[in-house]
Structure 1
Amino acid sequence: MSTPTTAPAQNGTARRRNPLRAIVRIPFGWQVLIGLVLGVALGLVAAQIGPVPGAGEDGAEGPNWLTTTLDTVGTIFVTLLKALVPPLIFLAIVTSIANLRNVTNAARLAWKTLLWFAITSFIAVSIGLVLGTLTDPGVGSGVSQDAAEASDTQGSWLDFLTGLVPSNFLGIEGGVGDDGSVSLSFNVLQILVISIAVGIAVLSVGSKAEPFLRFTGSALEIVQKLLWWVIRLAPIGTAGLLGNAVASYGWDAIGQLGVFVADVYIGMLIVLLIVYPILLKTNGLSIGSFFRGVWPATSLGFVSRSSLGTMPMTKTVTERMGVPSHYASFAVPLGATTKMDGCAAIYPALAAIFVANFYGVPLGITDYLLIVLVSVLGSAATAGMTGAVVMLTLTLSTLGLPLEGVGLLLAVDPILDMGRTALNVTGQALVPTIVAKREKILDQKAYDAARRTSFQAIQAEQAEQAQDADADSASPDDPAPADGNADDGERDKQTASV
């Protein structure tokens, strides 16, 4: 009789010793949703508390403790993501280009991928232009011209072209602050150029580069594992980012820019729910299977606001939908740096029209064509964490519009950036799927069987694959893994050829 009474007590004690276990078991999507709601609630509370007299510089009003806390939490989350971006770009691009050595029609796949990037960007920017022309978002907006301020981060065609030339191997840039402090930063565009050059060199060297490829492949796995750990903090980071946006700007800013915000989200929804399904159906692909399969990456992009940070998830869901691994390893990293239907197409088109409306500058057909040209060809300028501001300044400078117009839109940028990144990520998975289908290398059964999967399930699947790989490498005396890998490589070459 003592055993039945003792076991529940032990189980109860175990449960009391692990109070976070129940939270961890909550699906990741629900955790993010809770973070969103909590962020808005805390932001409203912080806004009600108001600024604190004497807390700012020179005795001016400053943020209260809750606003400061939300800002700190959100900043830490974004900083962690940024810290992993440079090695992630270099390792992913080098590895992806090197993987093309196993594909017989690599050049054909590469140019078709770029072509479809351009096609979808053209459609997206055209939708943005039509919406902006119909609604005139900058006319009658309640935003004050006092908010006009040129962004510290600006882009121009000259900056873009000169930025392509690496100043050093790591793309490191230094700057001196007003207080004399020295800070270092990475030029993402230069890292991209360096990575492509190294990847091509690896292909040229051939078998002598195998030790280097083993190192980069191993290092990429380590960086991606670190990134997964940071992504697990997304619910907390989302609460901080959204809460700080609500506390700092409030709903008044959204009301003042209501037409512009509505235009951006309506444009993104048209691309996501109308254009993408039409492209899928035209190429004989199931719409439901695609959106079920891509959902983990889309939702993660929404909360992380980083296409690069979401890249490992995007690559995983793309492969799960039947795209060959060697091709996905090339197309997804390339798309994460250059394929931006939200940041580089819809948003800059509408923002340019808003700024032109606000300052009373008429736009002609030539200006609209320039916006299209910049959006289709200048997407690489957005490479980075949140590159929409760079793309916007590039568009404004091309049209000769005041760069101070950027400051008018910064109040709602965090809210818009969530939707922009979600659309970016979805498009980055769409193009490889379409190209694989058209090139007859898509695993149709895997695509049709695609199902909505949780974040935890994908993590568990990747962990299981890693364990299987470790087990195979730990058994050198067993010839089966070697033969299997050889068969897989030969099969990849056969399925990649048309």
Structure 2
Amino acid sequence: MSTNTKSFSLPFRAPFWAQILAGLVLGVLLGWLARSQDVSWLVTTLDKIGSTFVGLLKLAVAPLVFFAILVSITNLRKVNNAARLASQTLIWFMITSLIAVAIGLVIGLVTNPGSGTGLTPQDGAKPDSTGSWLDFLTGIIPTDVITPFTELNVLQIVFMAAVAGIAALKLGEKAQPILALSESVLELLQKALWWVIRLAPLGTMGLIGNAIATYGWDLIGKYATFTADIYVGCLIVLFGVYPALLAGVAKANPLQFFRGAWPAIQLAFVSRSSVGTMPVTQKVTERLGVPREYASFAVPFGATTKMDGCAAVYPAIAAIFVAQIFDVPLGVTDYLLIAFVSVVGSAATAGLTGATVMLTLTLSTLGLPMEGVGLLLAIDPILDMIRTATNVAGQALVPVLVSAREKLLDRDAYNSVHGSLVDEPEPASAETREPAAATA
């Protein structure tokens, strides 16, 4: 069958980034109008549009994570040195997380984000649920196979998928029918999610508009230093650390990386969901020259565990912020604990919108009051956009670094990336692009 058949298209269609930008601007204007003129129906409409978009993304999260992890583990059998690739991926996840948390700590110590805010301990409230190391460790193992999907416990879903994937590898040819079905279901989910992704401009308008209509600019004023710290920290990681690693470790042009990865980064900024962005992240990673079999392992793995924004920069600055509000001194040991939690506990965020679990885990480890979480909940949606964008950029970065170090990266593909990936009508099927040969 010919692959050159062109579908009907309008004579002019704005590129996806322009649609996102238009949704952002329109959302700001509508949010300001709704708040300044007290238009309640407009606030409700913006809230419904934004929540529907996020709901559609979350709808596919549970099965998407399960089949993506299962297929990614079994795909490693097609790659030479699979164990080495997996270990290198984990090591670079840890290295970049350590760098990110160090940047967060330095920024927090220099700027003192909790000073002069006017906030007091009485302004905080304990969250309904908190994270602890015991809950984190024991909560990985499910008690049944249904509850993790109904309650969207991503860690338990990842655990079951990993067990199923390893078991399939051990069974060999006997598991082939299950693997074929899993790959088909995964492609079906990705295609359906791609249609949802096309609604991102509308989702942007609703999410941004509702945030402004609900919180206004006054809230940002109280958290000005803290908000600036999170954005500056994430931007340093995104446009400072990552380009330095690309140039120094991968010997690759950082501009080419951002040209290829930008569709995933901008979608992550809007959707605030690493898992929801995962199909786009995987596709841009493959377009950057990472072999398909390795990308199909590294990206899903990263979408559930690699969180430089949510699990490194954010908890580091937030812990300092809460400690200053509650007048609790922190020492060197506490800062080392923050780094430890960021590296080991990042899976607690599980690629979902928000990082409350990670924050409660950090605060409980340091012995800081849980009421500190309540101080940050209102501002969280505004912070989560840049955090998730940083997460997703890191999830695309590490496979490029590892592929380059292992001489698997298709340099020609990397250097020829151009255009907006999301402007293509739908993701390519497994047969449309052969990955670069995975050689030792």
Q: TM-score range by the shorter chain?
A: over 0.9
Matched residues in 2 for 1:202 and 1:196: separation? Answer: 10
Match of 1:34 in 2: 22
SS of 1:186 mapped into structure 2:
coil
Q: Which residue of 2 aligns with 1:409?
A: 376
The within-5 A match list for 1:457-472 is: 457=424, 459=425, 462-463=427-428, 465=429
Q: For the residues of structure 2 that align with 1:451 and 1:146, how far apart are their CA atoms? A: 52
Deviations 1:75-112 (A, max 9, x none): 11111111100000001000000101111211111011
State the distance in 2 between where 1:452 and 1:397 align: 45
Q: Which residue of 1 aligns with 2:98?
A: 122
Which of 364, 367, 372 is the aligned partner of 2:334? 367
Are the aligned partners of 2:15 and 2:420 in contact in 1 as well (CA < 8 Å)? no
Offset of 1:29 from its aligned partner? 1.1
Are 2:6 and 1:45 equivalent residues in the alignment? no
Structure 2: which amino acid aligns with 1:379?
S
Indicate the residue corresponding to 2:177 in structure 1: 211
- Rounded to whole Å, the distance in 2 between the matches of 1:152 and 1:267 is 29
Task: Tell me: CA distance 1:143–1:70, structure 2 relative to 1, closer, same or farther (3 Å).
Answer: farther
Q: Which runs of 5+ in 1 are unaligned?
A: 1-19, 52-63, 174-183, 470-484
Tell me the CA shift for residue 451 of structure 1.
2.1
User: Which of 63, 88, 91 is matched with 2:64 structurally?
Assistant: 88
Counterpart of 1:245 (choices 183, 187, 211) is: 211
Asked whether the 8 Å contact 1:320–1:450 carries over to 2, the reply is yes
Identity %: 59
The answer (yes or no) to whether the contact 2:27–2:207 under 8 Å persists in 1 is yes
Deviation, 1:28, is 1.4
Query: 2:306 is matched by which residue type in structure 1?
Result: K
1:379 corresponds to: 346
Is 1:169 the counterpart of 2:145? The answer is: yes
| 2:252 corresponding residue in structure 1 | 285
Deviation at 1:143, TM superposition (A): 3.6
Query: In the alignment, which residue of structure 1 is the partner of 2:190?
Result: 224
CA distance in 2, matches of 1:252, 1:43: 14
Q: Which residue of 2 aligns with 1:352?
A: 319
Q: Is the 8 A contact 2:363 2:369 kept in 1?
A: yes
Say whether the 8 Å CA contact 1:242–1:414 is kept in structure 2. Answer: no
Structure of larger gyration radius? 1
Q: Do the aligned residues in 1 keep the contact of 2:16 with 2:420 (CA within 8 Å)?
A: no
Secondary structure in 2 matching 1:496: coil
Where does residue 441 of structure 1 map in the other structure? 408
The answer (yes or no) to whether the contact 1:381–1:387 under 8 Å persists in 2 is no
Matched, 1:271 2:237: yes
**RMSD of aligned alpha carbons:** 2.0
Q: Deviations over 1:319-357 (max 9, x none)?
A: 111111100000000000000000000001001100001
Gaps of 5+ in 2: 1-8
1:104 to 2:95 alignment: no
Who is 2:4 aligned against? none
Tell me, in whole angstroms, the C-alpha distance in 2 between the residues paired with 1:114 and 1:291. 22
Q: 1:148 aligns with which of 120, 124, 149?
A: 124
Output the CA distance in 2 between the equivalents of 1:219 and 1:200. 19
Contact 2:308–2:390 under 8 Å retained in 1: yes
Q: Which aligned runs of 4 or more in structure 1 are off by greater than 6 angstroms? A: none
Matches within 5 A, 1:301-340: 301-340=268-307
Q: Deviations over 1:166-194 (max 9, x none)?
A: 11124437xxxxxxxxxx42211100100
- Once the two structures are TM-superposed, the CA of residue 146 in structure 1 deviates from its matched residue by 4.6
Aligned equivalents of 2:37, 2:358: Cα separation in 1:
36
User: Are the aligned partners of 2:304 and 2:349 in contact in 1 as well (CA < 8 Å)?
Assistant: yes
- SS at 2:131's partner residue? coil
Q: Distance in 2 between matches of 1:170 and 1:456?
A: 37
Q: Which amino acid aligns with 1:76?
A: T
- 1:134 maps to 110
Partner Cα separation in structure 2 for residue 456 and residue 381 of structure 1: 33
Equivalent residue in structure 1 for 2:395, among 419, 424, 428: 428
How many equivalent residue pairs? Answer: 432
Aligned partner of 1:25 among 3, 7, 13: 13
Distance 1:353 1:117 in 2: 24
Q: CA deviation at 1:145?
A: 4.5
2:219 matches 1:257 = no
The offset of 1:454, in angstroms, is 4.2
| Change beyond 3 A, Cα 1:263–1:441 | same
Cα offsets for 1:254-300 (capped at 9, x unmatched): 01100000001111111111111111111211111111111111111
Distance change >3 Å, CA 105–CA 233, structure 1 → 2:
same
The one-letter code matched in structure 2 to 1:272 is L
